[in-house]
Amino acid sequence: MKHIKTLKGLLLTLLLACTSTVSAYDFEVNGIYYKIRTGTEVYVTAKNTNSSFNEYEGHINIPETVEYSGITFDVVGIGSYAFRYSSIESITIPPTITFIGYNAFSYCHVKEVYISDLYAWCNILLILMVE
């Protein structure tokens, strides 16, 4: 009987884990959503990468670093689908960005891109396919 209760508890835990929603981001600061890549690195992502609606609009200024819960993170990338379907008009990309994910700007009609370091921009890894 004890084994049946343990099995029921395990199955309930698995069921809850499978039905919970997975967020595309770990935290948000000043209207920008971030996903933690490593202990001190994050990349910009969408609030929900599975949606045809994107919260971003207007001008987006990606910072070089962002602080959250007392930790300062380096902003190192723009994730796949981050600005897909967004209404952004312009974006400032810092020299700390080292990669831009697949379809990061698909269906986005951004008109202006501002960069401060041409050398850093030329060394960005562009991910051209889904991993």
Domain with 43, as residue range(s), is 23-126
What's the structural domain count of the chain?
Answer: 1
Average pLDDT of the chain is 83
Q: Which of 34, 27, 25 is nearest to 77 (CA)?
A: 34
Residue 8 within any structural domain of the chain: no
pLDDT at 104: 93
Higher pLDDT, 53 or 66: 66
What's CA 42's distance to the chain center, in Å? 8
d(CA 94, CA 75): 9
Ranking 3-7, 61-65, 67-71, 72-76 by mean pLDDT, the lowest is 3-7
pLDDT at 81: 92
CATH number for the domain spanning 66: value is 3.80.10.10
Task: Assess whether pLDDT exceeds 70 at residue 80.
Answer: yes
